[in-house]
Amino acid sequence: AQSVTQLGSHVSVSEGALVLLRCNYSSSVPPYLFWYVQYPNQGLQLLLKYTTGATLVKGINGFEAEFKKSETSFHLTKPSAHMSDAAEYFCAVSYSGGYQKVTFGTGTKLQVIP
Amino acid sequence: DGGITQSPKYLFRKEGQNVTLSCEQNLNHDAMYWYRQDPGQGLRLIYYSQIVNDFQKGDIAEGYSVSREKKESFPLTVTSAQKNPTAFYLCASREDRLGNEQFFGPGTRLTVL
């Protein structure tokens, strides 16, 4: 069974500081990994995804994530936080078997302090 | 513009009433999904459909029903059997290929009074 753990339901950073949102997954087969962002009362938008190939994935809005198989992690980073980054972020995992059920983490709310 | 629409954005119903949430997509995606979102619980899968006229229960299907008569449409009915229906409901679709991401609608916030 696949699962996703996001460490920290709330993260606060100062504007201009590094953003690091943690995601660990468990999957018995090679995973597909996703990060989504959600602004209040809106749907989710894809930030980036890992399927195969390069383990460092770049996404929109300056975010990137690195797939580390040995650590079963897919942490999301951004070098310099902007006020507009304040939102909730979800890590998700699916795999090549079955119907590709997607399992979401419980989310991390990012607060950016001016 | 291609995308997913959900209507209405906000919905209020009295306890004991059934209510249907609309989801339409013009992305030509085969797969469609319904999720429920509650604070601190992430997204939980209610139902999904991989093809027209076929759908499967997700993790929390009790008290909900769906239909998939057209590729573009996947309405969700919240029945009176759902014990705690107040939540934010999200519809998503996906092109059914390995590793493809889901595209989400803007959501419907249902409040049962």
Q: Is the pLDDT of residue B86 over 80?
A: yes
CA A50 to chain centre: 10
- Residue A100 in contact with partner chain B when CB distance is under 8 A: yes
State the pLDDT at residue B19.
Answer: 94
User: Which residue matches tokens 């929109």?
Assistant: A60
User: Which residue matches tokens 């990012």?
Assistant: A110
Size of interface A-B (CB pairs under 8 A): 57
Q: How confident is the model at residue B113 (pLDDT cuts 50, 70, 90)?
A: confident
The chain-wide mean pLDDT, for chain A, equals 92
The chain-wide mean pLDDT, for chain B, equals 93
The nearest CA of chain A is from the CA of B96 a distance in Å of 9
State the pLDDT at residue A30.
Answer: 79
Q: Mutation test of the interface with chain A: which of B7, B101, B109, B110, choosing the one with the most A Cβ atoms within 10 A?
A: B101
CB-CB under 8 Å, B98 with A100:
yes
- pLDDT tens profile A30-79: 789 999 999 998 999 999 999 888 889 999 999 999 999 999 999 999 99
**β A19-21/A10-14 pair status:** unpaired
State the pLDDT at residue A97.
Answer: 60
Q: How confident is the model at residue B58 (pLDDT cuts 50, 70, 90)?
A: very high
State the pLDDT at residue A98.
Answer: 56
State the pLDDT at residue B109.
Answer: 95
**Cβ within 8 Å of B, A 56-85:** none
CA dist B17 → A60, B12, B14, B85 (Å): 42, 10, 6, 11
Residue A18 DSSP one-character state: P
- % residues pLDDT > 90 (chain A): 77
Count CA atoms within 13 Å of residue A23 on its CB side: 30
